[in-house]
């Protein structure tokens, strides 16, 4: 690794990244630039400025990226109805390419020759941050302290803070879980969750009530779509971040969006995690509903076939890849006529579609009706259709091929 003069650090202001800021200065004898992003994690990010200043940091970036996050990352992902391994809504995964993008942009603005992050050597985030960084700036140096240092426990980190005079905020009742939050979700790992048989404790959840404690009366919502994106709720126009904020609120109040899964990490291990994604759970259900009346059958089926590949690309950190961009163009093209309104009922953890309408609907009541269709559909045509599709099966049976 060449000499490092300046490094941009993805900085939260917490224990790990505060230690990393000082460690980078001492180890590489370089200047450190801190970057703190507000992605809707629900905590004030401005205190990170004071913490960085206390460490002697001269260049400090603190940015509100909530609208960009939802508009340019979350919404495009939901146009594909994206789920990793059939369940995970990719709340952590989709935030990493935006952070990588800003790290590189800030490195270019400040003349830094390296970036750094606080992801461990066991997880997916190191891959996501670094794949994005290399795609956007091939020659950038990446420093991942958790792969280099020996400060591999909380006790050692605290000892380092004491030795170097780093002030660490000691919160009472600190959660035993490793958590990551943004406007799409909050995740929980570690603690008793490392035993996949153990049920998550009720007081772990932060964003939602349990379905048992949700209101006894359902909540109805109407979501208006334009080209596959929600533009209004109950007739009121909203920005992308405002849409997701509101859906998180009402979804959480009605027990929507809890998930407990064991997923396959890109680095090879299985990991058990719990997630709260109330707004995303509502968005997925509603988007499939509006597509059900506006998309051609084969387009819808092709999207469903491509989705697992698209989800895997995002989960593994390949947002900034040509194959993801190619898939995105196909997905976005499919959304030109995905316009209309979906009516939902939220009730005790459930999201129920109760209505959908669109000027671009392909649903024809005259053809679909069980009543007299006045000749709109000739049922006799079905006989030839069936025989033609059965031809290969009949030939095989006549040749003595037994499929039993």
Mapped onto helix, strand or coil, the DSSP state of residue 42 is coil
Take residue 35 and report the two structure tokens written for it: 């970057």
Nearest-angstrom CA–CA distance, 70 and 61: 20
Respond yes or no: is residue 18 known to be catalytic: no
Query: Which one of the listed residues 18, 31, 79, 96 is annotated catalytic?
Result: 96
| Long-range CB contacts (within 8 A, 24+) of 52-56 | 52/11, 52/13, 52/21, 54/167, 55/18, 55/21, 55/22, 55/166, 56/25
CB 50 within 8 A of CB 11: no
Take residue 28 and report the two structure tokens written for it: 């590489």
CB 96 within 8 A of CB 85: no
Pairing relationship of beta strands 114-116 and 141-143 according to DSSP bridges: parallel
Query: Which one of the listed residues 12, 16, 229, 358 is annotated catalytic?
Result: 16
The residue to which tokens 């998180």 are assigned: 248
Query: Which one of the listed residues 31, 38, 125, 229 is annotated catalytic?
Result: 125
Respond yes or no: is residue 208 known to be catalytic: no
Tell how far CA 25 is from the center of its chain. 33
Respond yes or no: is residue 381 known to be catalytic: no
CB 95 within 8 A of CB 39: yes
Query: Which one of the listed residues 49, 72, 178, 324 is annotated catalytic?
Result: 178
The residue to which tokens 């979350």 are assigned: 74
Respond yes or no: is residue 378 known to be catalytic: no
Burial 284-308 (b: 16+ CB within 10 A, else e): bbbbbbbbebbbeeeebeebeeebe
Query: How many CB atoms are closer than 10 A to CB 349?
Result: 19
Q: Which residues are known to be catalytic?
A: 16, 96, 125, 178
């Amino acid at each position: 690794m060449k000499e490092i003069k300046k490094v941009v650090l993805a900085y939260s202001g917490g224990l790990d990244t505060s230690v990393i800021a000082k460690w980078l200065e001492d180890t590489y004898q370089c200047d450190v630039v801190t970057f703190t992003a507000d992605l809707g994690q629900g905590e004030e990010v401005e205190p990170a400025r004071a913490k960085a200043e206390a460490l002697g940091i001269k260049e400090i970036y603190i940015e509100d990226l909530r609208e960009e996050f939802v508009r340019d990352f979350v919404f495009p992902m939901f146009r594909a109805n994206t789920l990793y391994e059939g369940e995970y809504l990719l709340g952590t995964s989709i935030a990493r390419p935006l952070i990588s993008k800003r790290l590189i942009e800030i490195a270019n603005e400040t003349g830094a020759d390296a970036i750094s992050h606080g992801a461990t050597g066991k997880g997916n985030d190191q891959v996501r941050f670094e794949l994005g960084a290399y795609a956007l700036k091939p020659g950038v140096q990446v420093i991942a302290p958790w792969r280099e240092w020996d400060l591999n426990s909380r006790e050692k980190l605290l000892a380092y803070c004491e030795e170097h005079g780093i002030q660490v905020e000691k919160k009472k009742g600190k959660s035993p879980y490793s958590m990551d939050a943004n406007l799409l979700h909050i995740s929980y790992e570690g603690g008793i969750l490392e035993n996949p048989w153990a049920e998550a404790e009720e007081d772990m959840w932060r964003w939602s009530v349990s379905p048992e404690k949700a209101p006894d009366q359902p909540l109805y919502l109407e979501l208006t779509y334009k080209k596959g994106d929600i533009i209004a709720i109950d007739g009121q126009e909203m920005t992308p971040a405002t849409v997701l904020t509101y859906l998180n609120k009402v979804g959480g109040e009605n027990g929507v969006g809890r998930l407990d899964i064991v997923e396959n990490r890109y680095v090879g291990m299985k990991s058990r995690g719990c997630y709260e994604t109330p707004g995303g759970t509502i968005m997925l259900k509603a988007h499939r509903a509006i597509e059900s009346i506006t998309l051609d059958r084969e387009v819808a089926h092709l999207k469903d076939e491509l989705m697992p590949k698209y989800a895997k690309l995002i989960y593994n950190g390949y947002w900034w890849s040509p194959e993801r961009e190619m898939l995105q163009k196909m997905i976005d093209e499919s959304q030109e006529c995905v316009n209309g309104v979906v009516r939902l009922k939220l009730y005790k953890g459930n999201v129920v579609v109760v209505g959908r309408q669109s000027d671009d609907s392909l649903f024809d009541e005259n053809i679909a009706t069980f009543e007299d269709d006045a000749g709109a559909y000739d049922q006799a045509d079905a006989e030839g259709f069936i025989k033609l599709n059965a031809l290969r099966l009949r030939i095989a049976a006549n040749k003595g091929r037994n499929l039993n």
